[in-house]
Amino acid sequence: MKRLLLLGDSIRLNYAPYVYRKLSDRALITGPEENGRFAKYTLHELPGWLRALGRPDVIHWNNGLWDLHHFNGREPLTALADYCDDLTRIYEILRQTGARVVFATCTPVRADNPEWDNGEIAQYNAAAVALMDRWGVPVNDLHRVIAGHEAEWINEDDKIHLNRLGIKAAGDAVIAAVSPLL
């Protein structure tokens, strides 16, 4: 049975149980119990996670929403150039595992979310997709899956995390992206 590693932030934590329920008969699904947060945090923790979780055959990975968080109205936590550098460094580690890697774009947020900006999310996603295209890494466009459904699929209280319908939509997209690799 192939090993699927799910890496990423709290959006990954949203859909991981759904993916596990749907794919556990076809793959051994692992992932850090903790939130992968921003890209630099994932970069720092990744070697330990890989040692603890074992060698994966397929990796589904995302980072970005934390990088785009505007704490106290300031600029995003991570500048775009630094985000791209962090993604590059993460990919180099993932590539060394020999696993097939799939990158997922950041999901949108509700329009009234004061701490994130959908225009910036699109900009960071475009930069990440350009990197993935250069490396030949398939992209699971979770942004496209959720966009247009923010009011129905994103929690009204925190304006960022997926509700039951959003989890199903994102989870189904993850399953579709990784199934051919399993």
The per-residue pLDDT string of the chain (182 residues; one tens digit each, 9 = 90 and over) reads 999 999 999 999 999 999 999 999 999 999 999 999 999 999 999 999 999 999 999 999 999 999 999 987 789 999 999 999 999 999 999 999 999 999 999 999 999 999 999 999 999 999 999 999 999 999 999 999 999 999 999 999 999 999 999 999 999 999 999 999 99
What pLDDT shows up at residue 72?
79
What pLDDT shows up at residue 39?
98
What CATH number is attached to the domain comprising 91?
Answer: 3.40.50.1110
Give me 78's structure tokens.
């991570």
Long-range contacts of 44-47 (CB under 8 A, 24+ apart): 46/7, 46/90, 46/93, 46/94, 47/93
Q: Considering its fold, how many domains does the chain have in total?
A: 1
Q: What is the pTM of this model?
A: 0.96
Query: Domain range holding 171?
Result: 2-181
Q: What value, to the nearest 5°, has the Cα angle with vertex 21 and ends 14 and 105?
A: 40
What pLDDT shows up at residue 73?
77
